A = this chain, B = another copy of it.
Amino acid sequence: MPEKFVVVGAGPVGSLAALYAAVRGHHVEIYELRPDPRDPKSTPLNDGKSINLALSERGINSLRETGLSDIVDLILGETFPMHGRMIHVTKLGKYVREAQMYDARGKSLLALDRVRLNKILLDHLSTLPNVEFFFNYKLVGADFNKKLAWFESHGPSDPPRGPEIEIPFDFLIGADGAHSSVRYHLMKFVPMSYQQEYIDKLWCQFDVPRSTFSQDFRLPPNYLHIWPQDESMFIALPNLDKTFTATLFLTRSGFEALDASGDVVAYFQSKFPGVVPDLITEDELKKQYANNPHLPLISLKCTPYHHTSTAIIVGDAAHAMVPFYGQGMNAGLEDIRVLFHFLDLYPSDRAQALSSYTAQRTPDASTIADLATLNYREMATDVKSPLYLLRKYTEEKLDLWMPWLGWKTQYSRVTFSNMRYSDVVKASRRQAQILNAVVGVLAAAVVGSGLWFVARGGGERVKMGVMRSICWAARRTQGGIKG
Instruction: List chain A positions with a Cβ less than 8 A from chain B.
Output: 140-141, 143, 148, 150, 158-161, 164, 166, 179, 184, 187-188, 191-198, 296, 298
Contacts and interface: CB of A to CB of B under 8 A. Distances in A.
Contacts of A193: 196-198
Contact of A187 (B140, B166, B179, B191): B179
B184 A191 contact: no
A191 B195 contact: no
Nearest to A297: B191
Contacts of A196: 192-195
A195 B193 CA distance: 8
A195 B198 contact: no
A296 B189 CA distance: 11
Identical chains in the assembly:
2
A184 B183 CA distance: 11
A191 B298 contact: yes
- The listed residue with most B CB atoms (<10 A of its CB), out of A158, A179, A195, is A195
B191 A296 contact: yes
A433 to B, nearest CB: 32
Contacts of A184: 184
A95 to B, nearest CB: 35
A185 to B, nearest CB: 10
Contacts of A296: 191
B159 A150 contact: yes
A116 to B, nearest CB: 27
Nearest to A302: B196
Given A150-B159, A193-B198, A195-B195, 20 more contacts: A140-B140, A141-B159, A141-B160, A143-B158, A143-B159, A148-B159, A159-B166, A161-B164, A179-B187, A179-B188, A184-B184, A191-B198, A191-B296, A191-B298, A192-B196, A192-B198, A193-B196, A193-B197, A194-B195, A195-B196
A140 B139 CA distance: 11
A179 B194 CA distance: 13
A140 B140 CA distance: 8
Nearest to A193: B197
Contacts of A187: 179
A346 B148 CA distance: 48
Contacts of A191: 198, 296, 298
Q: What 7 pairs across the A-B complex have the smallest Cβ distances? A: A191-B198, A195-B195, A191-B296, A194-B196, A193-B197, A141-B159, A150-B159
Nearest to A199: B191
A316 to B, nearest CB: 14
Nearest to A160: B141
Contacts of A166: 159
A421 to B, nearest CB: 21
Contacts of A159: 141, 143, 148, 150, 164, 166
- The listed residue with most B CB atoms (<10 A of its CB), out of A140, A159, A184, is A159
A296 B298 CA distance: 27
Nearest to A298: B191
A227 to B, nearest CB: 25
Contacts of A150: 159
A140 B164 CA distance: 13
A158 B140 CA distance: 13
A147 B123 CA distance: 40
Contacts of A164: 159, 161
A166 B215 CA distance: 52
Nearest to A184: B184
